[in-house]
Amino acid sequence: MVAALVLAGGLYAVFAPQAQAQEEPGNRAAAAEGEALFEVGCITCHGRSAGGVEGRGPSLINVGGASVEFQVGSGRMPLARQEAQALRKPPLYTDEEVRQLAAYIESLGVGPVVPDDVDALVEDANLARGGELFRINCSQCHAFGGGGGALSSGKFAPSLYPASDRIIYAAMLSGPQNMPVFGDTTLTPEEKADVIAYIQQVIQSDTDPGGFNLGRYGPSTEGVAIFLVGIVALVFASLWIAGKS
């Protein structure tokens, strides 16, 4: 039994994808750089070896690199103060440093990781399918125009306009704040790329084929505009008819 366990463990260590990724020299070097960055900028809240500090920050064991790429890459971390929701800010780390921090957190456990071929997937994406998936899964919170919207308890779905392809992909994998997790069993990598391509090429574009966008907030601003214009027109029409009579 002992020999069988040793053999099974050895085979897993050799052939498991996660183990192979951690053994690559490039990943080890990036993780070492990320650990140095972590000890300077993150250890105060997340503790030594990313184990977490009560009342300050959670453990990052088994969180995965996707969460790091979203939180740090969008400037939400380091957190300035405790609020209902972390706010997007200009990032304090470069893209390379964000990848290094993500590599360090990846080395501490198993968690979702943003694939390296995201750009290639987005280039070959299906915009029509991406629009359908966005309307089904994302528009309820981020609005049809991607401008975001209010949620409960002081939280909100942020605007999608400044988001890059890797940030969006990382958000779908990690499910930050109130956002659900869209794992590969829910949306395949190709479907995630379709959604990203739709956001970048349709929502984030400056073109408005329907005319003036009224802030892209959806039917609320359109209803207000129609009400104001319609009521004013009816008042003037009533005055004109009364004057003629």
Q: How confident is the model at residue 20 (pLDDT cuts 50, 70, 90)?
A: very low
pLDDT-wise least confident of 12-16, 80-84, 120-124, 223-227: 12-16
Report DSSP letters for 58-107, one per residue.
---TTT-HHHHHHHHHTT--S-SS--SSPPP---SS-HHHHHHHHHHHHT
Q: Which pLDDT score is estimated for 106?
A: 94
Average pLDDT, the chain: 87
> Is 197 among the annotated ligand-binding positions?
no
Per-residue pLDDT, averaged over 157-173, amounts to 92
Higher pLDDT, 123 or 21: 123
Distance CA 58, CA 17 (A): 27
Higher pLDDT, 26 or 182: 182
Higher pLDDT, 219 or 28: 28
Higher pLDDT, 9 or 196: 196
> Is 132 among the annotated ligand-binding positions?
no
Assess whether pLDDT exceeds 50 at residue 218: yes
> Is 182 among the annotated ligand-binding positions?
no
> Is 26 among the annotated ligand-binding positions?
no
Contacts of 48 (CB under 8 A, 6+ apart): none
> Is 109 among the annotated ligand-binding positions?
no
* Stated pTM of the model: 0.74
User: Tens of pLDDT along 53-85?
Assistant: 998 899 999 999 999 999 999 999 998 777 778
Distance CA 142, CA 140 (A): 6
Higher pLDDT, 20 or 63: 63
**Residue 19 Ramachandran class (φ > 0 left, ψ -120 to 50 alpha, else beta):** alpha
> Is 45 among the annotated ligand-binding positions?
yes
Assess whether pLDDT exceeds 70 at residue 23: no
pLDDT-wise least confident of 41-45, 63-67, 109-113, 208-212: 208-212
Instruction: Give the position of tokens 């949620």.
Output: 151
Q: Which pLDDT score is estimated for 22?
A: 44
The CA-atom distances, in angstroms, between 53 and each of 46, 49, 57, 149, 197 are: 5, 11, 5, 32, 38
Q: Which pLDDT score is estimated for 50?
A: 93
Instruction: Give the position of tokens 């921090």.
Output: 101
Q: Are 25 and 17 in contact (CB under 8 A)?
A: no
Q: Where are the alpha helices (DSSP H) in 150-218?
A: 165-174, 189-198
Q: Which pLDDT score is estimated for 8?
A: 82
Beta bridge partners of 149: 157
Of the spans 21-25, 143-147, 150-154, 173-177, which averages the highest pLDDT?
173-177
| Six token digits for residue 71 | 């939180």
Higher pLDDT, 6 or 29: 29
Distance CA 123, CA 200 (A): 11
SS3 state of residue 6: helix
Q: Which pLDDT score is estimated for 217?
A: 67
Give pairs for 25-30: CB < 8 Å, separation 24+. Answer: 27/103, 27/106, 27/107, 30/99, 30/100, 30/103, 30/104
Cis peptide before 91 (omega within 30 of 0): no
Distance CA 161, CA 167 (A): 12
